[in-house]
A and B are shown apart, each in its own frame.
Chain A
Amino acid sequence: MALNFELVTPEKLLRSEEVHMVVVPGTEGDFGVLERHAPVMSTIRDGAIQIFATPGATPETIRVEGGFAEVNDKGLTILAEKIVDEG
């Protein structure tokens, strides 16, 4: 079982995949989301999302600016205002 993770920006649906864990930079602190996380709605601050595809794997980071994260029984949805390109 894995966490259903979606990353959406106003321009497009960036990610929709099954991952192990995602660490979200919430306004009041980072929080990790695993599968069957309790429902949460949180605004996010500018920072990096860390995506762990499998337990213990090196996380993939995506920098986002402003947005909103929602965890419900279907999984985690991040509505990011902007994605900052790395490099």
Chain B
Amino acid sequence: MASLKELKDRISSVKSTQKITKAKQMVAAAKLRKAQAAAEAARPYAERLETVMSSLASGVSISKDTPKLLAGTGKNQKHLMVVATSDRGLCGAFNANIVKEARIKADALKAEGKDVEFYLVGKKGKPVINRVYPGSIRHHFDTSDIKNPHYDDAKEIAEDLVARMEKGDFDIAWLFYSKFKSALVQEPQTQQIIPVPVDENADTGSTVAVEYEPDEEEILSELLPRNLSIQLFRALLENGASEQGASMTAMDNATRNAGDLIEKLTIVYNRSRQAAITTELVEIISGAEAL
């Protein structure tokens, strides 16, 4: 059995761990509120853009002049996985879940004989992906200086992606992030971002003749990059909220576990203290009796 001193040290170490997890939990709770508000505030724009996009896209016939973002490169060989993770740990299985989602998709594509490469946003996905698919990371977009994701950050990523597609680095891009449902539930998402998936059954909606200024194609070519930025921006915000939610839940569990551990250790400590006292007493009494 461990000595009294060891037990005492153990208890104080668990206590300080608990302090850390408790603090992290409270920080996450405070940040969550802000991140959630930001994610929710961005939804109207994304939703409206989506309706506009689908009504525009379904109206345009695909020709060789159609922007690549909509029509694709015409091939289906090189796939780029855009994996958005967080920059910090202490958030439970949040990053692991996103990476797992990406790995499932990547393995499925590889089984079909496609080329798979990665484009990482945030640094937590890097070690795992580097280990499982060595040498397939094309680029790592550093977000560690970004406290609250801004639209301009998403735009930067989008522009980079478009430039890479123009160069012919990939044919199809997938986006992986975690959708925020609640503090307890975050769902990893797989989404095709390039080319824009056109819903064949989309409600073409208004049969009313809409006037386009300048013309349909020009609007489309301006809207497509914007749509990409928005999808990325939404992913960043959803990820931000999810990270804080996951972190809060994970830290709450950790704090509770630490509490249980402290309780158990304290009982063991008290028992061995009593045992020590009893042994000492027995020694003294038997010593006195022997005289």
Residues on A lying within 8 angstroms of B by beta carbon are: 6, 8-13, 26-28, 38-43, 68, 70, 72-73, 77, 79, 81-82
Structural contact, B44 and A40, CB atoms closer than 8 A: no
Leading 3 A-B pairs by shortest Cβ distance: A12-B41, A42-B213, A10-B151
Query: What residue in chain B is nearest A80 (Cβ atoms)?
Result: B45
- The tally of residues in B whose CB lies under 8 Å from a CB in A reads 28
CB distance from A8 to the nearest CB of B (A): 5
Structural contact, A81 and B226, CB atoms closer than 8 A: yes
- Contact residues in A for B42 (Cβ distance below 8 Å): 10-12
Structural contact, B151 and A68, CB atoms closer than 8 A: no
Complex CA gap A31/B202 in Å reads 30
A-B contact count (CB 8 A): 78
Structural contact, B214 and A28, CB atoms closer than 8 A: yes
Main DSSP-derived SS at the B contact region: helix
Of B38, B206, B230, the residue contacting A72 (CB under 8 A) is: B206
Question: Could you list some 5 contacts between A and B, CB below 8 A?
Answer: A10-B42, A13-B44, A28-B213, A41-B211, A73-B206
Structural contact, B219 and A10, CB atoms closer than 8 A: no
Query: What residue in chain A is nearest B218 (Cβ atoms)?
Result: A43
Structural contact, B151 and A39, CB atoms closer than 8 A: no
Complex CA gap A40/B211 in Å reads 5
Main DSSP-derived SS at the A contact region: strand
Structural contact, B208 and A39, CB atoms closer than 8 A: yes
Complex CA gap A8/B174 in Å reads 27
- Contact residues in A for B48 (Cβ distance below 8 Å): 6, 8, 70, 77, 79
Query: What residue in chain A is nearest B230 (Cβ atoms)?
Result: A10
